[in-house]
Structures are given as structure tokens and as C-alpha cells.
Amino acid sequence: MGIFNRKKRKEPEIELMDGVLQRLVSYVTPYRSRLGMAIAFGMLAGLLNGLFMFVLKDVFSVVLPSAGEEDAATHFTPFADLPIGFLQSISIPKPVLEPEKEWIFILAVCMTMPAMLLLRGLFNYLHQYFMLWINNKVLFRLRDECFTSIIRQPIAFFNEAKQGELMHATATQTRACADAGTQMISAWIKHPIAIISILFACFAMDWLYTLGAFTIFPLCILPVALIAKKVKRAGGREEIESEALMVTMQESFDGIRLVKAHARESYQRTRFNRGSRQLLDWLMRWRKAMEISTPLVEAVAAIGISLGLVYAWKTEMTAAEFGTLNLAMIAMYPHAKALSRMHLQMQRCAVAATRVFTHIDRKPSICDLPDARELEVANGPFELRNVKFAYEPETPVLHDLSLTFEPGKKYALVGQSGSGKSTILSLMMRFYDPESGQILLNGRDIREYTQASLRDQIGFVSQEIFHFHDTIRANIRYGQLFASDEEVEEAAKLAHADEFIDKLPDGYSTMLGDKGRTISGGQQQRLSIARAILRDAPILFLDEAMSALDTESEKKVQDAIEKLAAGKTVIAIAHRLSTILDSDEIIVMKNGRVEDKGPHTELVERCPEYKRLYELQFKVEA
């Protein structure tokens, strides 16, 4: 796996999708009215930042009047410097009060500040509320599209894909996209308006000082920009590393039996920690880049304030003015910082969005034709005509295979492991399309039917047993979602599963672990059979359906399947003689070809391959 030479490996480049951020924003635009509200409240909150500065200055003037500001001591004119007529004319005269009661007026004036902040907080809250609402909608849609697209991919896709990556994309990366998508919009509204309104207030108060301050400001941005550029990729790498971590976790938990059987806990731990450390390294780089900006900017700002003090002394600025101007600059800083960090966040978001959209855009290699028809009842022959198939190019698995399965008959597929038996069933269920040749059902190519209607006609007991983390009842009902409890129990009875289910303390309500770990292999197989029985489809595929059963229960299940199979087309991949002897025709497979077919008595006589299998496998139980 090369996990030990990972350090030396060249980092894979992150290829971003074109226009990925615009596409993300297009997920937000359907919610125009809410977005409008969010923008309106965001703007109001932003504007209040500037307005606050005007009020602040006058509060200072009233509370701490400097020389030449005697006027201020008699009137509170919160928007004196604001060049908007009606606001400017607001002037509250100081009531005539006894000196010991003057503090009441001062308190009232001071209270305008918390009042304004409260108002700004309210607007901010409403802004956030609407953005969150949109965020939820976007996240839901992204997850839905991502999951739906993944689950519609054919089996071939899942053979290659890493489950951990798929889960990471659907759960985590969609979240990152939605957050970033809405936060970007929010940030692009709030911060510039806050900055502009505060700037406006500053210029109205003392344009020269403000101008001076803002020649220094770019100096603050410069080092930040330089550093940010250098480590821009770190944010994106973090996404990729956490994906890898997810894969390791998923594999460790999924393959826990293998891990334990080989006592590889500490090996898995090493792998996990290697990934974990790498992830944290990248996170560290990213955070370092983000965090270095704060002390840098602060240092430059302190120089600015020192120079400003000299200017204030020279121009005999009032304390209220000087204090307000500097507070305004400081109030602007978080907004400027947020804006300057935006592109780091956008970079990260672009990586996550690229992943998510790649999943959403993936066209399944097997899909229904636009004019696909519904298969009503599979009552005609199932036919393979000159079918060629390979999982990997260059290694053909089936060579020019032709077979006909008549309706209502029983077939047994035999052959050594790897001869292509399971592959035939997979092709007939259209898990894969053949490379050349045709598969026909009721005289039509199965590609002409919808996949769902084709598979509706087939009951399948797979070689790989799987059960959901759910009750036994729900697991059987998966075969027929609308079956009643009685029908479920009837199916379990036919599969001889009721014998062990009744012994379980919770009976049909017993929860199965992921992959059905809490019951034995033979019991799991009986549940799979019950599920197929409940499905009651006219065609039945049994892929070594009885391999995990002991001889005793096999006889019972055999008997159940016989009842079930009456009038159905059955193709059974069999390891046991009993299954084979019951079939109308035995098909002997060898290296992806049909070696011979016929009834048992003939094949033992004339087919050496069958004879070999019979001697090795079947005869033992006979």
C-alpha cells in the first residue's frame, strides 16, 4: 500500500472545477426573498456600525467636553457630523437639573450606545437567522443530490470507490460547501458595508487623519497577503487528508474481524495516527497563516496610533474626536480581517465543492434508456447470446457465452471457483453491461427495460450476505416493503428461520449489528432466503445460497425453496449435490465458457470437468 513511503510521495495536485463557486452560489439564489431579507438585515447591521461611531463621538463630547466644546455640554446632538439633514438636526437639550442630579442625563446619553448595539445585534441575529435557513436548504439539497447520485452508480463504481471518501463527501464536504456558500454571501454583504459606513464616519469627522491612517493600512495587508499566498494550498490539502483519514477509519471498523484475527490493532493505529498527524500538520500550517496576520496587523496599527497622537497634538484635536477615530479604526479591523481571510476560506470551499460536484455530476455508466419500458411479467425465456464480458480490460471473464433459461425450469450452475458463475447472474440483473452480445428477457434486450422493473422480477440470494442495522423483521421486509407482519413471519417460517428467531429474547424485534454480526452465518443465510421468499418474484437467483447451512437446515431450506420455486425460473449456483439433482438442467462452467450441459446422469458419463467436480465436491455428501 506504500503507506510507509508516503512522505516521499509527490502531493497530488488539487484540480479545481471551473466556476465551482458560482455554481455553489446558484444553490442559494432560489431563495431570493429570504436572501433579500438576509441582505437587508445584514446591510442595516453594517450601517449601524458607522452610525454608532457618530453617536459615540457625541457621547464623548457630552461626557468629557474638551476646551471649545461648551456647546456640547448643553445639547446632545448624536449625528452632528452626519451630513444627512433630518438626522443632523436631532438635538436634545440638556434639561435644567440640580448638579447632584446631572448624572441622570449623562446616564441617559450613555445608554444610547447599548441601545444601538442591541439594535445592531438584533439585525445581525435576523441576518444570521435567514442565512442559516438558506444554509439548511442548500445543505439538504447538496446532500440529497450527492447521495442520490452515488447510490445510482452501478456496482462497477463501488468496486473501485472508497466508501470512506464517499461518506466524507456526502456528510462533511457538503456541509463545508453549504457553510462556505452562505458565509461568502453573508460576508460579502456585511463586511464591505460595515467598512464603508465606518470609513464614511471617519472621513466626516477628520478626513486628513483618516487618509493618513489608510496609507498605513495597506502596509498591514501586504505581509498578510504574502503569507497567505504561500500557504494557500494548505486549506485544500486539509480536505484531502481528512478524506484519507475517513477511509482508514471506515476500513478498520468494517474489517474489524480481519484486524482482530491478525492482531493488527496497533498496525491500524499506526496507519490512523499517520493520517491524523498529517492532517494536523496541514491544519497547523493553515492556522499559522491565519493567525500570523493578527500580531502583524496589531503591530502596524500601534505605529499608526503613535503617529496619530502626534498629529492630534499638532492639530489640537479634541479627546472625543481622537478617541472615536481610533475606536472606529479598531472596529473596522475585524471586518477587514474577515474579508482578507475570505480567499483562504474560498480555496478550502472550492476543494470541497469540487469533490461534491464531481460526485453529483458523475453519469452512471449503466442507466435507463430515455424510452425504457416497464417489464410487466417475466414469463418468457431468459437468454444470453454471445455474451462477452470483462471486469478489467484485457482479462475476459466470459467468452462468447450463449445460454437459454426457459421459464418455470430449474437450472444449476456448477464449476470451480472463479469460472464466472456469479458474473452470469450479475449480468442478468444488469449490474454490468456485457462488452458485446445480448441478454434477452421476454424476447427483448434487458437494456430496453427500466432497471427497477427488471430487478423487480428477480429474487436474489447473494453469496455475500448483508443485513442492515435494524430489526430482523425490518430486514426480512426489505424484500417487500409493504408486507404485513404475518407475511414476514410466514416467509421466515418457510425459510426455517423462525426456529432460531423464536428462541431470541426479542424475537422478530431483535436488532442485528451492522453486517448482521449478532447471528451466525447459517442464520443470516436463512434470513436472506426469507427476504427472497417474501419478494416472491417469478425468477429466483440463488448464489451458493446454502453454503453456510449445515446439512440438517439445508434439507429444510431445500424443502422451502422447492415450495417457493414451484412455477418459477430458478438459477442456482450450487455446491451441493442435493441442489443439483433437483434441477432440470445442469450447466458446467469452466474458465468463462460453458463446458457442457444436461442432466446429472449424462454429465457424469460424458463430461470430465463435471466428473471431477462431482468426485471432489458433490460425491462426499452423497
421 sits near ligand ADP (criterion: CB under 6 A): yes
Contact partner at residue 392 from Mg ion, ligand ADP, none, CB < 5 to 8 Å by partner kind: ligand ADP
**Segment lying near ligand ADP (by CB under 6 A), choices 171-179, 226-234, 351-359, 390-398:** 390-398
The number of CA neighbours under 13 Å toward the Cβ of 141 is 18
Q: Establish if 4 lies at the interface with ligand ADP (CB under 6 A).
A: no
Residues 6 or more apart whose CB falls under 8 angstroms from that of 570 comprise 409, 410, 411, 539, 540, 542, 561, 583
> Coil, helix or strand for 226?
helix
Encoded amino acid at 539, one letter: I
Contact status: 590 vs ligand ADP (CB under 6 A): no
CB of 434 to ligand ADP, least distance (A): 13
Closest separation between CB of residue 154 and ligand ADP, Å? 11
Nearer to Mg ion, 170 or 422 (CB): 422
Q: Which of 422, 442, 523, 583 binds Mg ion (CB under 5 A)?
A: 422
Nearer to ligand ADP, 462 or 510 (CB): 462
Nearest to 235 by CA among 138, 353, 337: 353
CB of 418 vs ligand ADP, minimal distance in Å: 4
| Cβ-based nearer residue to Mg ion, 498 or 543 | 543
Q: Which stretch binds ligand ADP (CB under 6 A): 116-124, 162-170, 421-429, 493-501?
A: 421-429
Q: Is residue 127 within 8 Å of 41, Cβ to Cβ?
A: yes
Which H/E stretch holds residue 281? Answer: helix 265-315
Do residues 90 and 78 make contact, with C-beta atoms less than 8 angstroms apart?
A: yes
Collapsing DSSP states into helix, strand and coil, what is residue 569? strand
Does residue number 30 form part of the binding site for ligand ADP (CB under 6 A)? no
Asked whether the beta carbons of 526 and 519 are under 8 A apart, the reply is: no
CA dist., res. 557 & res. 497, Å (int)? 9
According to the binding rule CB under 5 A, does residue 426 interact with Mg ion?
A: no
- Residue 70 gets which letter from DSSP? G
Closer residue to ligand ADP (CB): 100 or 394: 394
Neighbouring-strand partners of residue 92: 76
Q: Cβ of residue 446: shortest distance to Mg ion, in angstroms?
A: 20
* Sequence-distant (≥ 6) Cβ neighbours of residue 347 within 8 angstroms: 232, 233, 235, 236
Number of other residues whose CB lies within 10 A of the CB of residue 515: 16
Is the CB of 122 or the CB of 465 nearer to Mg ion?
A: 465
Least distance (Å) between residue 433 CB and ligand ADP: 14
Q: Which of residues 106-135 bind Mg ion (CB under 5 A)?
A: none
- Per-residue string for binding with ligand ADP, 127-166, x by CB under 6 A? --------------------------------x-------
* Beta carbons of 576 and 606 less than 8 angstroms apart: no
134 or 548: CB nearest Mg ion: 548
Residues that bind Mg ion (CB under 5 A): 422
Residues that bind ligand ADP (CB under 6 A): 159, 391-392, 397, 415, 417-423
